[in-house]
Amino acid sequence: MNTTVSAVMEPLIRRKVFATEEEAVRSLLRQYILQQIDALQRELACFERKHGMRFEQFAKYLHERSILLEKGELSSEQRLALSRAIMQEEDDWLDWKVTQEMLEGWLGFRQEVIG
C-alpha cells in the first residue's frame, strides 16, 4: 500500500480493529459501497412514494400526459397548467433515471469488489 494509506490505517491495525491494511481497506470499501447502495435505494423509494408508481409506470404516465398536451384539445389555461406540471414531472423523471443508473453502477461495483 502507499504511504498515505498506511499512515491512515496504522492506528486501526495497531488497535487491532483490523489485522492487516488489506483487511481494513476491503472492510471500509465494502461498508462505503453498501452505504451508497442503501442511500440510492432510499431515494428511489421516495420517488415511488411521491408518484405512487414504479419508474417504468411513471415514464409511461409522463409520455401519455405529453401526448395529451400535444393534441391541442385543452383550453389555454389547461395547457399552461399541464405544461408546468409536465416540466416538474420531467425533472423528477430525469433525477429518478439518474438515481437508478447510479444504483446499477454501485450494484455492479459491489459484485466486482465484494462478490
Domain boundaries, the chain: 3-113
CB atoms within 10 A of CB 93: 19
Judge if pTM exceeds 0.85. Answer: no
pLDDT 10s digits, 8-44: 888 988 899 989 988 998 899 999 999 999 999 999 9
- Which ranges in 16-75 belong to alpha helices (H)? 21-51, 55-71
- Mean pLDDT to the nearest integer, 3-12: 82
Band (2; pLDDT cuts 50, 70, 90):
low
Cell numbers for 105:
453502477
> Count of residues for the chain?
115
So what's the pLDDT on residue 45?
98
Rounded Cα gap, residues 115 and 100, in angstroms: 21
So what's the pLDDT on residue 28?
92
**pLDDT cut 90: percent of the chain above it:** 68
